[in-house]
Amino acid sequence: MTIATPRIPRYELHCHLDGSVRPGTVADLARTQGLLLDRPVEELVVAPAHCGSLTRFLTYIDLPLQVLQTPDALTRTARELVEDWKADGVVHGEVRFAPQLHGRLGMSLDDAVGAVAEGLAQGRTATGVGTGLLLCCLRHQSPDDSLAVAETALRHRDVVTGLDLAGDETLYTAEPHRAAFDLARSAGLPCTVHAGEAAGPESVWEAIDVLGARRIGHGVRCTSDTALLNRLRTDRIALEMCPTSNVQTGAVPSLAGHPAFRLLAAGLPVTISTDTRTTSATTLQREFEALSRTPGWTGRHEALAQQNAAQAYFTPRSER
């Protein structure tokens, strides 16, 4: 499908590598690795419109993770993502992944980061799209695991632009991971945290005050706390909202009820991303087209969201 040329340059801040592997690439890697698929690959990697929970949504990433256990697979996938950004009108994209999930065949954290960085470099050379790489700590893992990820990020400061915390907020708090985020911030590595997606405003407060997040992944459940909204607005803490994904996981009931429009109108630094291009079967073009069909959304809001993203992306060391 040909994607229409966007009116303005686009920036994507929230995109998971393992949720953005092309279905054809998943099938090809599975075939090469001797994995037998019992259903068409699209049924295994594209989540339904309403999963009802983040837990079910994440099961559609199981197969991509299974085939992303070699450096070559990671490099190919990262390169193809940059190509997909180019086709989507993205001039700068940030991708995030958890290197600790790619060691089933013995790949080290450093090797995983190096493989993704190589794919991004190949993509930049071929397309001219700027890239950033964020490493994800995971809420359900131990503080030592997160510290190892943060230390890996600092060993690769030439290619890693930020640290993230992902996972189910309803089951795991952010506090145990404070040491990892303190280490990152002390070295000047900016942080973002998934919060306000599965849990409420208290999760966002914790991300800001405990982990020092400069951006919030999703944040759709922040709307009931006026003090929090004032803090986000005053400190210009960007919200990385992903409308299609937010509906799929049940974070918001419907696209019509998504808070992006009213938060933008209230002066908050809302940005729009895909979250998982394959799992959500989406692109930024499709996200903005869907938003344009909701009451009140206009091209002016898209321009404002992109302006916010252009100001909020984590600048690679080479650009400083």
Catalytic residue numbers read: 197
Residue matched to tokens 């799929």: 248
Among candidates 112, 128, 206, which has minimal Cα distance to 160? 112
What 41-46 contacts at long range (C-beta under 8 Å, 24+ apart), as own/partner pairs, is 45/21, 45/278, 45/279, 46/278, 46/279, 46/280, 46/281
Running DSSP on this structure, what letter comes out for residue 156?
Answer: T
CA distance 261 to 263: 6
- The SS3 of residue 75 is helix
Residue 149 phi, psi (nearest 5): -65, -45
- Give bridge partners of residue 191 from the DSSP assignment: 163
Q: Are 267 and 246 in contact (CB under 8 A)?
A: no
Torsional sign, CA 161, 62, 249, 295? positive
Q: How many other C-beta atoms are found inside a 10 Å radius of the C-beta of residue 103? A: 13
- H/E stretch holding 306 reads helix 299-312
Torsional sign, CA 253, 88, 18, 210? negative
Running DSSP on this structure, what letter comes out for residue 176?
Answer: G
Among candidates 145, 173, 176, 190, which has minimal Cα distance to 316? 190
